[in-house]
Amino acid sequence: MLLELLDGGKVRGCCSPSTNSRGEQHPPQRCHGGGGDTVLHIAAKMGHAELAKAIRRLEPLLLTRQNSKGDTPVHCAARAGHHAIVTSFVSTRIVDEQVGEEHGRLLRVRNGVGNTALHEAAQNGHLEVVQAIMSVDPDSAAVVNQAGVSPLYMAAERGSSNIVRSLQWSEACSYEGPNGQTALHAAVLICYDITELILEQVPVFIKRGDATNNSTPLHYVLLDSDNSASYLRDKDGFAPIHVAASAGHLNIIAELLQHCPDCMELINNQGRNFLHVAIMNKRLEIVKYVLESAVFIDLLNEPDNEGNTPLHLAVISRSRQITQILSSDGRVNTSIMNNKGHTPLDLASLASNWNWEIALRMYKIVIELINHGSRLSPQRLDLITCCLQKNQEAEINQYRAFANNLIIVAVLIATVTFAAAFTLPGGYKGDSSSNAGSAILANRAAFKAFLVSDSLAMISSISVAIILLRTGSLDHDIRLYSLITAMKLLWVALGGMFVAFATGVYVAVVSNCKWLAILVAVMICSIPLGAWMTAYWPNSDFLSLVKMNIIQENDTPITDLDYRWYNKQVAIRRRLAGIADFHTP
């Protein structure tokens, strides 16, 4: 009888007190349908606005009554999309003594899964209901359910852009989703407009990963919607995994391989897989990731179109750390040859064509390779020895010419700084007192700085001259280390000389014109900084790499340092064969 009256929307019959078999009357809130629904629940579900209003006026306690699922009548009306009923429930802020709650707080009541009425409206795409609730309690957009899902996430998942806009009216609006996701994770797979709306408000979400595997929204749009995107390539043959390896994004590589394991076999136009690309860009973490997993064992000795394996490319990129961890792995072939017949040790010996600092770095790489069993390509011992003897004198002459230039500069600095020590700025005291002959400005801080820097410059320059005497040694290692040390000390001497000149001018002029003294000092001190930046600017390293590529393409014969390494390898082979080691002159 009750359901028939409700189905017909009859107010009087439903709102009249009911009578049981004993003749006792009960108010309408005592009348329950299936699942614990009251008459107000049923009226809200069926959309009878007038009936719902009448029941609410008669029995306000029914507004807070929850059925077996935890739903209030507001939940039922919001889920069904009956905005007129929801509006009547929440439009007034009457505080009923029996209810004891404001209607604004009534909207925060959660059902069995933690959903509020706003969750139900957003999940089912009822825009007018969402607007009605937001007009009364905009902060309810900040509430998340038991799964950590916000109303806006539900709207984004459904593709309801208008509801997303309405929810964004609230400054407290939450974008949270399940498992650490945000609404952007759902939006990128559903609707471009919603993606734009979210990024306009919170652009940082594009970099935020979820709690499961730290996947960003970019991963979802690339992988979850269409796995074929992982195999797309640009004009150079670069797939997404190559780009990720080049940029050093290990988490993206792991995500790509999780969804598309065969991505690891993709090669670009140079025949290089993602490990090759990572090594050329010196991405150490990616190399470690590959070495730690047995899945990538086939990549460790995989050649590119030129026959260069990962170890070859580590040498070409001049990365000592990558060379070390690759050569120390027993699965890596340290003596494999490329298409030109060069082993990694052969390529490392080409360092003689670069500047001295890079040559020293490559020397350390060569030591790493030799220590882990790398060999030179097969050569006749008599030809190697002949080459060593022919080029030994030319190599020594090159070192001596460079050393002579450094000695000239060092001697000039020593001469200037020695003279400056006895022609002090400000002069000497000439009276007949006990201080006669001492410096007039001796008590000033700038004068003390002048003496210290002048002395440092002179000592450093003399040390350079002494060290460079060792460049005549027949031992290649001694010559190389002597030149490197001398160059560093020469920079110290030059810096000391400039500081001495600047402080000398400052202490002599500051008493008459302070701004001029400061200007001159700054100008002088900036000269060595500019010279250093010019000499060691990163472009020089890039030019060295270009030079290396030219050498590789032209197959330039190995010289200088190569012969030293060949000589060492010959000595090792002779020892292993029981032959007496020969001495390099």
**Which two structure tokens, joined as six digits, stand for 186?**
């759902």
Q: What is the pLDDT of residues 482-512, one digit of tens each?
A: 788 888 898 889 888 888 888 888 888 877 7
Q: Where is 455: in which H helix or E strand?
A: helix 445-468
Query: The domain that contains 54 carries what CATH number?
Result: 1.25.40.20
Query: 106, 138, 166 — which closes off a domain?
Result: 106
Tell which residue, 153, 141, 143, has the closest CA to residue 180. 153
Residue 205 lies in a domain: no
Q: How far is CA 577 from CA 151, 335, 574, in A?
A: 79, 19, 5
Q: Please list the ranges in the chain whose pLDDT falls under 50.
A: 1-3, 5, 11, 21, 24-25, 29-30, 94-103, 225, 353, 380-384, 387-388, 538-585
Rounded to an integer, what distance in angstroms lies between the CA atom of residue 431 and that of residue 26? Answer: 123
Q: Do the Cβ atoms of 174 and 150 come closer than 8 Å?
A: yes
Residue 319 lies in a domain: no
pLDDT of residue 543: 38
pLDDT of residue 537: 53
Q: Do the Cβ atoms of 124 and 130 come closer than 8 Å?
A: no
Rounded to an integer, what distance in angstroms lies between the CA atom of residue 367 and that of residue 371? Answer: 6
Classify residue 220 by its DSSP letter.
Answer: I
Residue recorded with tokens 């004198």 = 393
Query: Which residue type does 571 have?
Result: A
Q: What is the pLDDT of residues 421-463, one digit of tens each?
A: 888 776 666 665 666 556 677 677 878 888 889 899 999 999 9
pLDDT of residue 581: 33
**Which two structure tokens, joined as six digits, stand for 122?**
């957003």
Residue 190 lies in a domain: no
Helices H / strands E in the chain, number of each: 28, 2
Rounded to an integer, what distance in angstroms lies between the CA atom of residue 250 and that of residue 119? Answer: 37
pLDDT of residue 98: 43
Q: Do the Cβ atoms of 267 and 241 come closer than 8 Å?
A: no
pLDDT of residue 292: 93
Rounded to an integer, what distance in angstroms lies between the CA atom of residue 65 and that of residue 291? Answer: 62
Query: Which residue type does 413 have?
Result: I
Tell which residue, 376, 380, 383, has the closest CA to residue 342. 376
* Residue count (the chain): 585
Q: What residues have CB less than 8 Å from 572, skipping those under 6 apart?
A: 370
pLDDT of residue 561: 44
pLDDT of residue 473: 56
Residue recorded with tokens 């170890």 = 311
**Which two structure tokens, joined as six digits, stand for 3?**
């359901």
pLDDT of residue 564: 47
pLDDT of residue 96: 45
Residue 2 lies in a domain: yes
Classify residue 311 by its DSSP letter.
Answer: H
- The β-bridge partners of 529 are none
- Tell me the whole-structure pTM to 2 decimals: 0.44
Instruction: Give the three-class secondary structure for 217.
Output: helix
- The β-bridge partners of 32 are 38
- The β-bridge partners of 19 are 25
Q: What residues have CB less than 8 Å from 12, skipping those under 6 apart?
A: none
How many structural domains comprise the chain?
2
Question: Which domain covers residue 13, as residue numbers?
Answer: 1-106
Residue 309 lies in a domain: no
Rounded to an integer, what distance in angstroms lies between the CA atom of residue 504 and that of residue 324? Answer: 50
Residue 179 lies in a domain: no
Q: What residues have CB less than 8 Å from 584, skipping those under 6 apart?
A: 388, 392, 474, 567
Residue 502 lies in a domain: yes
Rounded to an integer, what distance in angstroms lies between the CA atom of residue 12 and that of residue 26? Answer: 15
Instruction: Give the three-class secondary structure for 111.
Output: coil
DSSP string for residues in 128-148: HHHHHHHHH-GGGGG---TTS
Q: How far is CA 129 from CA 54, 84, 116, in A?
A: 20, 8, 12
Query: 536, 558, 580 — which closes off a domain?
Result: 536
- Could you tell me what percent of the chain has a pLDDT over 70? 70
Q: Do the Cβ atoms of 85 and 93 come closer than 8 Å?
A: no
Rounded to an integer, what distance in angstroms lies between the CA atom of residue 320 and that of residue 361? Answer: 8
DSSP string for residues in 319-358: -HHHHHHHHTSTTS-TT---TTS--HHHHHGGGGGS-HHH
Residue 468 lies in a domain: yes
